[in-house]
């Protein structure tokens, strides 16, 4: 819609924002009208109309099989659009149109903002299934007529109230029509069922909805008076009521077709099961985070015990082996610590890579600095855990065997993530400027425990490839190519 409005019309950003607000709300008008809606805006030169948005009803058959957005029609071809735009009134005159052997009633509703008509809504009703309307349908149509008059007067949508239609109650979820005093004129079967769930034993028609709702809601002292007023539809509001039996979501819409409020619409939805599942997910997420936190604590305890044991061993090789084990355990603990702070089983691996780089750099025999370039991005836990161990082993091997006591140098970790959605890859390169590889060295046959761990994790768990080659200038270059899900 933004592109069409800016390309073809002279509306400014504030006008466009008003149209966005209207489009976020007009599913309500479409469902109440049992009709398709198409928003037409005059072009900059005033010779044509461009359709910038379209909505189909959930309550009835559509009048348009094709998408109308982007269509241009010259002024004069649709006289009802002209009349609505020029006269600023709702136009209902005219015989039904026939589209693909389907009779369609067309109405035009001007869209007004601050005294100016920005465009026209064409309301198209499929008449093929017309029959004697029920009380429910009559209430829908009367409410749609009131909303249409409010749009034409610039009183709807409500300014500064953006509504998430995916989360808000819809017409079919439950509808209550109130008079100006807040008394129930009509309640749909779904609305009545929702109130029965709150504990209402009687019918709703004739009752004061605000007072009835406040009586059914759990006692909250002074808040009850405010709840009674809100539930009476005096102002546009969304709220929820939770009782021992269920949770009901409400949306109140004041009706002011001619200025003063003549009543209200109250849409409501039973969200008991939805809220129960949300609470279960919150509890599950909290439990998972607590598990990761405890695993991290246990790993740190294991690392502390290994470190304590290393101090008591006289053998140099035994002490080095335990210190290597401490670093391996520490790299896994870093992943679990990060997971304990997240809401899902995914981590930002750049932070983990930096911490692993800093942890391993502590064992450097000389003045070796480490740095990271590129981004690993967000990784799933089943990838992050083995990758952190792989990175630890590679960095540890580079610092221990690439540099001698007193040497200065650099170890750089580079990450490039790309590829297609189906075959996304993560290319990791660890390069040092140390002494390089021994002559005839084969990384795929070397018996070093660290390299064995790298090969097993990369090729087995991560499904990637691993290679170790001389760096282009000096030192050693380790290359990892790992398949990963796309970064979201």
Question: pLDDT by residue (tens digit) across 128-137?
Answer: 876 678 899 9
Helix (H, G, I), strand (E, B) or coil at 242: strand
SS3 232: coil
Name the β-bridge partners of 56: none
Give dist(CA 310, CA 84) in Å, integer: 87
Rounded Cα distance between 186 and 170, Å, is 16
Of the CA atoms within 13 Å of residue 253, those in its CB half-sphere come to 30
pTM check: above 0.75: no
- pLDDT, residue 343, reads 57
Instruction: Please tell me the distance from the alpha carbon of residue 481 to that of residue 466, in angstroms, as a whole number.
Output: 7
Sites in the chain below the pLDDT cut of 70: 130-131, 162-166, 219-225, 285, 339, 341-344, 360-361, 363-366, 420-422, 446-447, 486-488
Q: Which residue's entry shows tokens 């540099």?
A: 403
- Go through the chain and tell me how many residues it has: 488
The conformation of residue 102, written as its DSSP 8-state character, comes to E
Q: With contact defined as beta carbons under 8 Å apart, do 376 and 415 qualify? A: yes
Per-residue burial over 259-294, b if 16 or more Cβ lie within 10 Å, else e, is eebebbbbbbbbbbeeeeeeeeeeeeeeebbeebee
Give just the sign of the alpha carbon dihedral 315, 319, 325, 328. Answer: negative
Q: Which two tokens stand for residue 399?
A: 């610092």
Beta carbons within 8 Å of 284's beta carbon, 6+ residues apart: none
Rg of the chain, C-alpha, whole Å: 34
Closest by alpha carbon to 480, among 358, 386, 401? 386
**One-character DSSP codes across 270-316:** E-HHHHHHHHHHHHHHHHHHHHHHHHHHHHHHHHHHHHHHHHH---H
Q: What is the pLDDT of residue 365?
A: 58
| pLDDT for 123 | 94
**Cα gap 283→287, rounded to integer Å:** 6
Q: Cβ distance 321 to 263 under 8 Å?
A: no
Judge whether 111 and 19 are in contact, CB under 8 Å. Answer: yes
- Cα of first residue to Cα of last residue in the chain, in angstroms, is 26
pLDDT score recorded for residue 162: 67
Own/partner long-range contacts of 253-258 (Cβ < 8 Å, ≥24 apart): 253/28, 255/143, 255/146, 255/147, 255/150, 256/150, 256/155, 257/145, 257/146, 257/147, 257/149, 257/150, 257/153, 258/149, 258/153
Question: How far apart are alpha carbons 149 and 89 in whole angstroms?
Answer: 9
Burial-class residue 220 by CB neighbours within 10 Å (0-12, 13-18, 19+): exposed
- Beta strands at 465-470 and 408-419: parallel, antiparallel or unpaired: unpaired
- Please give the pLDDT value at position 27: 93
- CB within 8 Å of 10: residues ≥ 6 apart: 44
Q: Give the pairing type, strands 175-179 and 116-126.
A: unpaired
């Amino acid at each position: 819609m933004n592109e069409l409005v800016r390309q073809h019309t002279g509306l400014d950003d504030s006008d466009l924002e008003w149209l966005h607000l209207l489009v976020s709300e007009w599913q309500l008008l479409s469902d109440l009208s049992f009709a398709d809606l198409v928003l037409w805006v005059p072009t900059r030169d005033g010779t044509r109309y461009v359709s910038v948005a379209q909505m189909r009803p959930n309550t009835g058959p559509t009048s348009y099989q094709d998408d109308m957005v982007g269509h241009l029609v010259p002024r004069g071809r649709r006289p009802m659009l002209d009349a609505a735009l020029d006269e600023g009134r709702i136009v209902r005159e005219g015989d039904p149109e026939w589209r693909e052997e389907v009779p369609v009633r067309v109405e035009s509703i001007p869209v007004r903002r601050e005294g100016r008509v920005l465009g026209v809504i064409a309301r198209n009703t499929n008449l093929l299934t017309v029959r004697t309307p029920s009380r429910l349908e009559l209430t829908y149509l009367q409410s749609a007529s009131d909303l249409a008059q409010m749009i034409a007067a610039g009183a709807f949508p409500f300014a500064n109230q953006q509504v998430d239609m995916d989360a808000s109650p819809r017409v079919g979820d439950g509808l209550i029509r109130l008079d100006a005093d807040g008394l129930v004129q009509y309640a749909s079967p779904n609305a009545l069922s929702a109130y029965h769930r709150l504990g209402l034993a009687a019918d709703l028609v004739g009752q004061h909805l605000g007072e009835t709702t406040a009586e059914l809601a759990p006692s909250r002292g002074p808040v009850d008076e405010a709840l009674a007023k809100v539930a009476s539809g005096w102002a546009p509001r969304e709220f929820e009521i939770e009782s021992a039996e269920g949770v009901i979501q409400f949306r109140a819409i004041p009706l002011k077709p001619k200025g003063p409020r003549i009543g209200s619409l109250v849409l409501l939805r039973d969200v008991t099961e939805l809220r129960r599942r949300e609470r279960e997910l919150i509890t599950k997420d909290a439990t998972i985070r607590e598990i990761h936190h405890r695993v991290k604590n246990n790993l740190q305890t294991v690392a502390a015990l290994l470190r304590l044991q290393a101090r008591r061993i006289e053998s140099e090789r035994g002490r080095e082996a335990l210190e290597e084990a401490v670093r391996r355990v520490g790299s896994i603990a870093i992943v679990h610590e990060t997971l304990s702070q997240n809401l899902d089983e995914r981590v930002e691996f750049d932070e983990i890579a930096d911490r692993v780089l800093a942890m391993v750099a502590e064992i450097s025999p000389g003045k070796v600095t480490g740095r990271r370039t590129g981004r690993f991005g967000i990784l799933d836990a089943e990838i992050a855990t083995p990758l952190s161990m792989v990175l630890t082993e590679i960095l540890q091997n580079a610092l221990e065997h690439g540099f001698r006591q007193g040497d200065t140098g650099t170890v750089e970790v580079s990450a490039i993530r790309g590829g297609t959605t189906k075959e996304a890859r993560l290319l990791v390169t660890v390069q040092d400027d140390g002494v390089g590889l021994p002559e005839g060295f084969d990384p795929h046959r070397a018996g070093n425990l660290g390299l064995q761990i790298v090969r097993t994790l990369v090729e087995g768990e991560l499904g990637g490839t691993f290679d170790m080659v001389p760096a282009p200038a000096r030192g050693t270059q380790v290359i990892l190519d790992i398949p990963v899900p796309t970064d979201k």
